[in-house]
Amino acid sequence: MPGLDVAVFGATGAVGVEMVKILEERKFPVNSLRLLASRGGRSMEWRGRPTPVEAVGPSSFEGIHTALFAVEGDVSREWAPVAARGGAVVIDNSSAFRMDPEVPLVVPEVNPEDIAHHKGIIANPNCSTIIALVALAPLHRAAGLKRLVASTYQAVSGAGKAGLEELERQVQAHARGTTAVASVFPYPIAFNLIPHIDAFDEDANTKEELKMRDESRKILRAPDLRVSCTCVRAPVLRSHSEALTIETERPLSPDEARKILMNAPGVKLLDNPAERSYPMPLYASGQDLIHVGRVRRDDSVEEGRNGLVLWVSGDQLRKGAATNAVQIMEKVSETLRETA
Ligand SMILES: NC(=O)c1ccc[n+]([C@@H]2O[C@H](COP(=O)([O-])OP(=O)(O)OC[C@H]3O[C@@H](n4cnc5c(N)ncnc54)[C@H](OP(=O)(O)O)[C@@H]3O)[C@@H](O)[C@H]2O)c1
């Protein structure tokens, strides 16, 4: 088979635009590309040519081999089964199917073997989960993760195109001496931090925090992993950062952890405090590697226990969403092309 017939659903959104770019950058063997969104009448550039965006409909996935979904969960829930029934392999970025035991939840650097068990739908994990696990999985393999405490600093583009536009609007209004109202976020995000992403549950955790806990357990196959998260929206345009405090079964010194991370797939170690070298979202943006640094001992653990602290930054639109999905699709396409 010379190439695959591919659809990108949600092509006009923050993640979809990146998907189209990354398919081209990574020279994915696309035979034909169908761009889908809520409405047509627009075009996007693909291989240097304007390509029409179509409104999604019952025949949108006919003849499609693989479909990248970058739409909200309720839209995925409606259309992913339609595409999968028609024979396409769907890689879905929403939270709709992530905890379904029948659906593999995959970070290719961590659990690529799970892809083989798919039944038409493969889920891309939450962006903060991907960014944390690219750094933590190699440490887990070396020393066994027992406990994770994560505090996130999440960029506004994590809330899509509208989130990005809201921060830009508020910053411009501030420069003019006026204020722009908040509509995407519950409070002004410019010059602020909002410890509230997605809905609260009855225990006062947010869904975003629970996604990180549940998805990490599923991907690492560590159902007993103890996780506590605080997810915070920060006035950063792009790339999420996370402070990760871990406790491991076996001892792991900061030097050993750095050695492991230096050779870990998908990781760029930036950890030289004397040279002011550490991860920052501005510099992780536009890249696929997760930047890891500030590796140090956690002295707050009890005597005889093993604690480490790390700081990571990663482009959540690329590795936290679009790149991860395209990497999965690359692995799926190897099988599809072999069996064609
Ligand atoms: N942003 C991130 O950093 C990030 C990271 C990981 C995962 N995700 C997930 O990826 C998905 C997309 O997020 P995003 O940030 O790209 O959102 P976005 O910027 O708001 O884009 C949403 C896309 O969905 C389309 N759409 C909206 N309602 C639709 C409907 N009823 N029918 C068909 N298409 C519809 C939009 O098309 P129109 O242009 O026609 O409205 C647009 O292409 C979400 O599930 C999100 O949770 C996002």
What is the position in ligand 1's atom list of the atom closest to the CA of 56? 33
User: How far away, in angstroms, is 78 Cα from ligand 1 center?
Assistant: 14
Residue at token pair 């259309």: 79
Query: Which of 15, 185, 198 for a ligand 1 pocket mutation test, highest count of atoms within 8 Å of Cβ?
Result: 15
Whether residues 271 and 331 fall in one domain: no
CATH of the domain at 30: 3.40.50.720
Per-residue model confidence (pLDDT) at position 281:
98
Alpha-carbon torsion, ordered 296, 300, 303, 307, to 10 deg: -40
Q: Which domain holds residue 190?
A: 129-316
3-state SS of the chain? CCCEEEEEECCCCHHHHHHHHHHHHCCCCEEEEEEEECCCCEEEEECCEEEEEEECCCCCCCCCCEEEECCCHHHHHHHHHHHHHCCCEEEECCCCCCCCCCCCECCCCCCHHHHHHCCCEEECCCHHHHHHHHHHHHHHHHHCEEEEEEEEEECHHHHCHHHHHHHHHHHHHHHCCCCCCCCCCCCCCCCCCECCCCCECCCCCEHHHHHHHHHHHHHHCCCCCEEEEEEEECCCCCCEEEEEEEEECCCCCHHHHHHHHHCCCCEEECCEHHHCECCCHHHHCCCCCEEEEEEEECCCCCCCCEEEEEEEEECCCHHHHHHHHHHHHHHHHHHHHHHC
Residue among 88, 16, 79, 90 at smallest CA distance from 46: 16
Whether residues 148 and 239 fall in one domain: yes
The average pLDDT across 158-177 equals: 97
Query: Which of these ranges, 5-9, 140-144, 182-186, 301-305, has the smallest mean pLDDT?
Result: 301-305
Asked whether residue 339 carries a pLDDT value surpassing 80, the answer given is no
The residue whose C-alpha atom lies closest to atom 14 belonging to ligand 1 is 160
Amino acid identity for residue 297 in this structure: R
Whether residues 253 and 197 fall in one domain: yes
Tally of domains within the chain = 2
pLDDT, the chain, mean: 97
The residue whose C-alpha atom lies closest to atom 43 belonging to ligand 1 is 10
The residue whose C-alpha atom lies closest to atom 34 belonging to ligand 1 is 38
Number of other CB atoms surrounding residue 177 within 10 Å? 6
Whether 96 is in the pocket of ligand 1, judged by its Cβ within 6 Å, is no
Whether residues 220 and 170 fall in one domain: yes
The residue whose C-alpha atom lies closest to atom 35 belonging to ligand 1 is 38
Percent of the chain with pLDDT over 90: 96
Asked whether residue 5 carries a pLDDT value surpassing 80, the answer given is yes
Whether 198 is in the pocket of ligand 1, judged by its Cβ within 6 Å, is no
Whether residues 265 and 325 fall in one domain: no
pLDDT digits (tens, 9 = 90+) for 54-87: 999 999 999 999 999 999 999 999 999 999 999 9
Q: Which residues fall within 8 angstroms of residue 33, CB to CB, at 6 or more apart? A: 6, 7, 8, 20, 23, 46, 51
Whether 285 is in the pocket of ligand 1, judged by its Cβ within 6 Å, is no
For the purposes of burial, counting CB atoms within 10 Å of the CB of 75, is it exposed (0-12), middle (13-18) or buried (19 or more)? Answer: middle
pLDDT digits (tens, 9 = 90+) for 94-151: 999 999 999 999 999 999 999 999 999 999 999 999 999 999 999 999 999 999 999 9
What is the position in ligand 1's atom list of the atom closest to the CA of 12? 43
Please name every residue paired with 49 in a beta bridge, in sequence order, or none if there are none.
46
Whether residues 214 and 74 fall in one domain: no
Per-residue model confidence (pLDDT) at position 300:
95
What's the CA gap between 15 and 36, in Å, rounded?
Answer: 13
Whether residues 211 and 309 fall in one domain: yes
Whether residues 67 and 214 fall in one domain: no
Whether residues 89 and 192 fall in one domain: no
Residue at token pair 């996604």: 211
Amino acid identity for residue 120 in this structure: G
pLDDT digits (tens, 9 = 90+) for 181-234: 999 999 999 999 999 999 999 999 999 999 999 999 999 999 999 999 999 999
Q: Which residues fall within 8 angstroms of residue 203, CB to CB, at 6 or more apart? A: none
**Residues catalogued as catalytic:** 127, 240
Per-residue model confidence (pLDDT) at position 21:
98
What's the CA gap between 336 and 85, in Å, rounded?
Answer: 16
Whether 80 is in the pocket of ligand 1, judged by its Cβ within 6 Å, is no
Asked whether residue 337 carries a pLDDT value surpassing 80, the answer given is no
Whether residues 309 and 326 fall in one domain: no
Q: Which residues fall within 8 angstroms of residue 61, CB to CB, at 6 or more apart? A: 7, 67, 79, 82, 83, 86, 88
The residue whose C-alpha atom lies closest to atom 4 belonging to ligand 1 is 158
Whether residues 247 and 297 fall in one domain: yes
Whether residues 226 and 307 fall in one domain: yes
pTM comes to 0.97
Per-residue model confidence (pLDDT) at position 340:
65
Structure tokens at 306: 């093993």
Whether 60 is in the pocket of ligand 1, judged by its Cβ within 6 Å, is no
User: How far away, in angstroms, is 59 Cα from ligand 1 center?
Assistant: 20
Residue among 61, 53, 60, 23 at smallest CA distance from 37: 53
Per-residue model confidence (pLDDT) at position 336:
76
Asked whether residue 91 carries a pLDDT value surpassing 80, the answer given is yes
Whether 127 is in the pocket of ligand 1, judged by its Cβ within 6 Å, is yes
Query: Which of 38, 165, 167, 319 for a ligand 1 pocket mutation test, highest count of atoms within 8 Å of Cβ?
Result: 38
Per-residue model confidence (pLDDT) at position 1:
66
Whether 16 is in the pocket of ligand 1, judged by its Cβ within 6 Å, is yes
Query: Which of 17, 72, 318 for a ligand 1 pocket mutation test, highest count of atoms within 8 Å of Cβ?
Result: 72
Per-residue model confidence (pLDDT) at position 272:
97
Asked whether residue 335 carries a pLDDT value surpassing 90, the answer given is no
Whether 155 is in the pocket of ligand 1, judged by its Cβ within 6 Å, is no
CATH of the domain at 201: 3.30.360.10
